[in-house]
Amino acid sequence: MKIKQTRDTLSDVYVQSLKIRNTVFVKEQQVPLSLEIDKDEAYAIHFILQLDDQDETAVSTLRILPSANGEQALIQRVATLKPYRGQGYAHELMLHVLDFLQSQHFKLVELHAQLQAIPFYEKLGFESFGDIFLDAGIQHVAMKKIV
């Protein structure tokens, strides 16, 4: 496995991330493209997980939206292509990103989890807070973790 990151919305890493997000969120979950690709794309750090050096197929992605003060980050757009789910790729990507956030001296990370994904994030040490809310017509709950 290989994990790559970028802030460059013209890079191949970003394009691969968008392909995964389009497949998972737009096609599978019917999220409108206008909500999936938003004003924060250029401010985010985009990550992809590729299978290996020979097969540069990206199978999992997420983005981090850092706060202005550099102490908090919001993890968003966590997605893995259907044939690769349940194999630990998103878990590995999340561990990498949590290490990255810690190395960059972030203090708190939050995310908005779809309800079925809560156990996945709880295994990574996230705790739910607040009420269930709708995002793109899908039920979510806010979760946080001190890094």
- Say which CATH number the domain at 51 has: 3.40.630.30
Position 57 scores a pLDDT of: 86
Distance (Å, rounded) from C-alpha 39 to C-alpha 81? Answer: 24
**What does R_g of the chain's alpha carbons equal in angstroms?**
14
Instruction: Return d(Cα 109, Cα 26) in angstroms, integer.
Output: 25
Q: Give the count of domains, the chain.
A: 1
Main-chain dihedrals φ then ψ at residue 60, nearest 5 degrees: -145, 150
Looking at every residue in the chain, the average pLDDT score rounds to 95
Quick: pLDDT tens for 57-88.
899 999 999 998 889 999 999 999 999 999 99
Ranges under pLDDT 70 in the chain: 53
Q: How many Cβ atoms are within 10 Å of 143's Cβ, its own excluded? A: 22
pTM of the model: 0.95
Which structural domain range is residue 130 located in?
2-146
DSSP label at residue 22? I
Q: Which residues neighbour 56 within 8 Å (Cβ) at sequence distance 6 or greater?
A: 2, 50
Integer distance in angstroms from the first to the last C-alpha of the chain? 24
